[in-house]
Structures are given as C-alpha cells and as structure tokens.
Structure 1
C-alpha cells in the first residue's frame, strides 16, 4: 500500500514537469487562460444574481405568491437562455452589414466555435476570450434585465405571459439597445459611456417593468376609493436581505467582469472598489432618509438604496474616481427613496419598486459620467470624453442624455405595444378569484409554504397588516 501511495505522489509531482517538458506556455497563452477563467467566474457570479432576485422578490411579496415568484426566476432564465442563443446574441452583437448601426445580424444558433465567433462577432473582438465564454457572460446580463422587468408583473400576471414576453423581450427589445451601445452601433460611435449596463441592462428591464405595471393596473386592495395607497408588506424581510447580499456579491462579476480581462494592472480591482463604495453609500443614505421621513429606519428602503447605488455605479464604475463613486451612490439611494414614494402616491403599483430602483437609478447612473468622468480613466477605457466637472463641457453629458432618452422611449413604446396586444388577445392578468387565492395555488397547484397557508386559511385575503 505504501509503495502504491509513493508511486501516486511521484506521478502527481512529476506531471507538471512532464507537461512543461513538452513546451512551456507562452506569456500570451497564460494571459488568455487567466482572462478566460476570470470572465467565466464573472459570468457565474452574474448568473448567481438570479438567486438574489428570487429571494428578494419572494421576500418582498406575499406568502401566497412566494413559490410562484421564486419559481418563475428559473423559468424565465431558461427562456432567456434559449432565445438569446437562437437569435438574441446574433442580433445584439452580430455584424449587421448595412444595418450594423441599428441592429446586428448573423451568428444565430451560436455554436461556440471560434470560426463562427470570428466570422460574425467583430464587435466582441477586443477580447480574445473564447466566444462561448463571451456568450455566457452576455447571456447573464440579459437574464438580469429580464429579472428586473418581471418586478412590474409581480403578484398578478399570468404564467403564460412570462413565456411570450420573455421571448419577445430577449429577441425583439433587448438586442437593439445592446447593439447601439455595446455592439458597435450608432450610440457607441457617439461615445456613449455605459461600462456595465446602467442603460443597456437596468434601464431596459425597468422600462419594460413600468409598461407592465401601467397595463396590469394595481393589485387588489392596494388603493382605497379615495386613491390613498395601502401598505402591502412582503412576507419575509430576512429573505429580502439575503437576496440583496447575494446581488451585492454578484455585482463584483457584473462590473469588474466587464473589463473582460484580469491582466490589466489590477484595473478590475479599482472597479470593484468603486462598486462597493457606491453600494455602501446608497444603503446608508436611503436608511437615513427613511428615518427622517417616516420617523423609523425602514429596512426595505435601505435594501433599495443599496441596489439603486449598484445600478447607478454600473455605468460609471470605470470612468469615475472613488470620491465620485460615493457621491453617485448617495444620490442614487436618496433619489430612489423619494421617487418610490411619488410613484406609489401617483397610483402606480410597482410591487418591488423596479422602476425606482433600476430605472431612476439607471438614468442617474448613465448621466453621472457626463458630470464625473475623469480624464485619466476615460483614457484607460477609451470611450467618450471627460465630464463637465473636469472641464469637458456639456458634450459627454449630452451624449449620455441622448442615449438615455432614446433607449427609454424605444423600450417603453415597444414593450407597451407588445403587452397591449397580449392583453387584448391572451390577457395579462389572472382573475380576481385567482389573485385572492394566490398565484402559488392558482398557477401551480401548491403553495410555497403549504403548512403555513393551511393554518392561516388559504382562501382569506390579507392585504393590509
């Protein structure tokens, strides 16, 4: 036995020597290997954000809908994965010939080979990471955008709506803005700065959520006859907190991963630091503002402040200095709190505050580089110009505002039109009886918390606590 063990150890230690004896890897090969592992890890972190969304949204909604809200996260990521592989990836990043400034075209049903990557995806050629890893990284971003959009559907949309709108969002809506900014389209030519997706990912998802919220109308019992809103609290703040922590961690794949390289003098670490500083500032700011406003420190407001700051710093993380990251986070946390209050009083029932957190903060984050983009960082990234506060004038701010306005209008009009047609043909909302019963039982035949729902009485609607 000892001899066998000695032989195994000898082979284990001898293997690297044997491998290198055949030819040591070049510096370029090592560079590519490190970059590939880093981007793959970043993609995994962003995909894991789906767990954060599942916990956050389930905790922020009522117990009778918890299983449905969490479960549809799996369903919709699967739908996005198939639709993006078939068409979305090629439309967003493919070479579009004469239409290339508006939309990509080519590389459909992506097979992951370098031949197809080289032939159709010149917009991704700045990175030498294998095409299959680039695809997974971009798929993770689509999944986040779609998860944000579903916030506007929560607690009242039919399950069938997720299938139809999920496919159409992934193929018909998302690829256009992604191509304009990241795929070599017309906004990229103008120097639109959106390092990791405040506009491409968050504003798109939030705008679709807003269209859905307006068409679906408020949940039963949300507003009194005089228009005064009632509180419909989520059933589990602990789940919501855990969801935000997972999302916060996932953002270290989202923003630093967008460098698509780890071998760049540690620049991805600087981006991670900016991301963390902004999140910290946003959470503290939102909690303090809620304390002043309500007289109590509101935990959901703090969670939304963290997420809003993360959304805002997503565009600017590579363009701004650390002090500006703190300012961006503080403003995002404060803006999100007050806009959430305003939307609710205006009769817009956004169950998880998707548009306040991802839309308003996405707009602010996109505009922020127009104020704070540092000359030295702009030179490193190589996109656009320095911001207003560094002597750049209004040029970059104007480009940022143009990108935000066009992206919002495009996504809102198209989302609203698609959902309006769906409402007239297949219907968007469950029946009143099914909504009272809860989507767990009406759509899936079982509750996420079967023992608790049996004890409380599944047919009783408890809207105000």
Structure 2
C-alpha cells in the first residue's frame, strides 16, 4: 500500500511539473502576440519570426549544453529517460518524512520545466530590440544567451554553485528568488539593455531637440490578447516553482501562489492605470498592459509568503514603478518599443528587493548582492557578445529597410498584405 502511495505522488508531481511547463511554454505565444501588437504593421512578421525561432533555439541550446552548465544534467541529456522504479521507491522509503518530503519526479519533467524558463528570458530581449535589428544578429545572440549566459547565472542561483568559485549567493548571502524575478526577468532585461545601447533608437523616435515622439503599435487587440496569455501562463511559471503538489501542505502552497500571482497582476494594472490617468488624463491601454505584467514580475520573486492583500500592494507598487521607468528610459533616449526593460528589469529588481518584507529567510543585503551579480554578469557578457556580432555581421538593418519595414527585408513577406499603410 505504501508503495502505491509513493507511485501516485511521483506521478502527480511529475504531471504537475509538465502541465505547469506547458503553461509557461504558452507564454511564448503571449510574448509573440504582445510584441506583434505593439510594433508597427510593417515589422510584424519579423517579430513573430523572432519569437517562434528563439523558442526553438532555446530548447535546442539548453538541451545541448545549457542544462549541463546549470544543473549538471549531462550534455545532450543522455540517459534522461532511464528510471529505476525500485530506486525511486527506495528514495521515498528512506526519507524520515516519507510522503510529506521534498519533490521526487521524472528527470525529463525537470528539464522541460527549466527549458521553457530559458525561452522566457530570451523572449524579453526580442521586444526591446524590435523594428531595427537584423534577424540573423538576433538569432546568433539567442544561441549564446540560451546556451551559455543564462545557464551560467542560473547555476549560481538555482543550481547552487558558487560564483566563479568565490562565493555562493544562496549559502553565503541568503539570496532568494522563488520563480525568477531576477534570475529570469531581470537577466533578460539586462541582455536587452546591452543590445539597445549598441543598437540605438528607431529612426524618428526622438526629434532634433530631444523631443520624444510616440510610435503607436499597430494592433492593440492583439497586444491585449498577449497580455492575457502571459497572465494565464504565469500561473504555471510561479505555481510550478513550488515543485510539488502531492500532499496537503504543498497543495495549499500552490493555491496560495496562484492566488497571489493573480492578485499582484490585478494590483499592477490598477496602479499603472491610475498613475497614467493622473499623468496623461487618459486611460492608457499600453500602460495598463505593462502594469499587469509588472505586477506579475514583482510577485515572482516571492509569491508564497505574502498575504493576498500584500501581494496586491506589491503588484500595485510595481505598476507605479513601471510607468515611471518607461517615461524615464524614454527621456534617457533608451528606445524600448514594448517597455520590456522597464517591466522585467526595473520591476524585476523591485521584486527581488521586496522579498525580505514577507520572507524572514531573506535579507536586503543578500538580495542586493544577488541582483548585482546577475545584472553585471548578464549585462557585461551580453554587451561583449553584441559587440562581437556587430563587428562581424552588424546589428542594425539599413535605413531603407527600416523605413520600408523589416518584414520585407528580413522575411520577404508582410503580415497584413491587404493593407498598404506602413
């Protein structure tokens, strides 16, 4: 009878991992729709191509080498399908806490859940460099980012390794990032910021006297759909990071994480909506969308310990921050068409720093040390990579291609061929 219970727990936790991974995979569609809606019509096909291609590149590079660098799972995942049922049952039986213990699940389910996180980090980059980057340059960077840069910082945090053999963020500093406000989101934003700095702004975004010119997206219904898809996928992103479902305590923890994730997204949207109305006297939809995403990013570092009301407040503050961050980056002439650096970078940092408010096991010093380590590594490594790509093949399309739209120059087709407007 005991073995049957252990087998059921193994199956339940493995299945839960896989379902949550599938939800996170669906976030790739959310990023694609959000970014396609926020760029101009003439650049839609290229942004969609980037999003679906980066997902494939991330899956392949993480399989080839990324998982090994991050967790030591073996290059090419040889042997991941091998399982000894007797050994698994023995692992359960040998634990003093038995059924109530930590997660034991299929190794392949762990890889699947981890690989979709890598793709999420890379998806953040695609929107920030939209409308003027060469498709080939982006693909080359995706190979390096998903195969090396992200797995390295992931190995120092979730992987439990020391940073270049010097110190451990978890053991020495008590750094905590439940589902990746810093490890995934801020890392993706750091890589994006490095690319945007070298790439420069879109033509016409800033006037000769420094004035900021709005460049509206072509399809706000599509952008809104993308936001809803991301909102839904985030339940897998945060909920799956509990890593276990098959007992009362962890099932309750999953329910709390789902509730807090939803509450923070709602709070973020409300915060951004209110601040945008105060500043512009209008209900700015794009700020609402980014506010919801900001709330989600903010709660991702610790969705298990706040009360739902506190989670709402964390999201609300994240929504306020993202509006200010978007406006500030614009004034600094850092052109981010979709607000990705503000949502995932600035609010990702906020999410890390607010963890100690509800989690006694984390400290502000440890969180700051972790944030600095992640940002410096990803930004510097990405900057060097972007510079090499720029020297070898160039980063930016020609002025003519940018004017006509990168759909034609990079993909040879338009997303909306029935319309002639650019």
Match status 1:422 vs 2:408: no
Answer yes or no: is the 8 Å Cα contact 2:349–2:371 preserved in 1.
yes
Secondary structure at the aligned position of 2:217 is classed as: coil
Task: Tell me the equivalent position of 1:168.
Answer: 144
Report the count of equivalent residues: 396
Whole-Å separation in 2 of the counterparts to 1:409 and 1:130? 34
Answer yes or no: is the 8 Å Cα contact 1:256–1:271 preserved in 2.
yes
Question: Could you tell me how far 1:37 is from its partner in structure 2?
Answer: 1.1
Task: Tell me the equivalent position of 1:6.
Answer: none
Question: Could you tell me how far 1:370 is from its partner in structure 2?
Answer: 1.9
User: Structure 2, unaligned stretches of length 5 or more?
Assistant: 88-100, 162-167
Aligned partner (choices 180, 191, 201) of residue 218 of structure 1: 201
Task: Tell me the equivalent position of 1:230.
Answer: 213
Question: Could you tell me how far 1:323 is from its partner in structure 2?
Answer: 2.6
Answer yes or no: is the 8 Å Cα contact 2:47–2:127 preserved in 1.
no
- Deviating beyond 4 angstroms after TM superposition, the runs of 4 or more aligned structure 1 residues are none
Higher relative contact order (CA 8 A, sep 6+): 2
Task: Tell me the equivalent position of 2:256.
Answer: 270
Match status 1:282 vs 2:268: yes
Task: Tell me the equivalent position of 1:187.
Answer: 169
Aligned partner (choices 111, 114, 123) of residue 147 of structure 1: 123
Match status 1:240 vs 2:218: no
Whole-Å separation in 2 of the counterparts to 1:348 and 1:228? 13
Answer yes or no: is the 8 Å Cα contact 1:49–1:247 preserved in 2.
yes
Match status 1:398 vs 2:365: yes
Deviates more, 1:79-88 or 1:323-332: 323-332
Instruction: Kindly provide the CA deviation profile for residues 190-243 of structure 1, in whole angstroms up to 9, marking residues without a partner as x.
Output: 321111000110000011111111110000110110111100010011001000
TM-score scaled to structure 1, two decimals?
Answer: 0.83
Whole-Å separation in 2 of the counterparts to 1:330 and 1:75? 34
Whole-Å separation in 1 of the counterparts to 2:274 and 2:352? 25
Secondary structure at the aligned position of 1:230 is classed as: coil
Task: Tell me the equivalent position of 1:113.
Answer: 81
Task: Tell me the equivalent position of 1:204.
Answer: 187
Aligned partner (choices 5, 14, 17) of residue 39 of structure 1: 17
Question: Could you tell me how far 1:114 is from its partner in structure 2?
Answer: 4.1
Whole-Å separation in 2 of the counterparts to 1:93 and 1:229? 45
Question: Could you tell me how far 1:163 is from its partner in structure 2?
Answer: 2.0
Task: Tell me the equivalent position of 2:376.
Answer: 409
Whole-Å separation in 2 of the counterparts to 1:126 and 1:184? 17
Question: Could you tell me how far 1:126 is from its partner in structure 2?
Answer: 5.2
Whole-Å separation in 2 of the counterparts to 1:252 and 1:164? 31
Question: Could you tell me how far 1:162 is from its partner in structure 2?
Answer: 2.2
Secondary structure at the aligned position of 1:446 is classed as: coil
Whole-Å separation in 2 of the counterparts to 1:203 and 1:250? 18
User: Structure 1, unaligned stretches of length 5 or more?
Assistant: 1-22, 95-105, 119-124, 376-383, 386-395, 459-465
RMSD of aligned residue pairs (Cα, Å): 1.7
TM-score scaled to structure 2, two decimals?
Answer: 0.91
Question: Could you tell me how far 1:70 is from its partner in structure 2?
Answer: 1.3
Instruction: Kindly provide the CA deviation profile for residues 161-187 of structure 1, in whole angstroms up to 9, marking residues without a partner as x.
Output: 122100100122101211111001211
Whole-Å separation in 2 of the counterparts to 1:227 and 1:221? 11
Whole-Å separation in 2 of the counterparts to 1:77 and 1:195? 23
Secondary structure at the aligned position of 1:329 is classed as: helix
Q: Return the index of the structure with the highest Cα Rg.
A: 1
Answer yes or no: is the 8 Å Cα contact 2:50–2:126 preserved in 1.
no
Deviates more, 1:136-145 or 1:416-425: 416-425
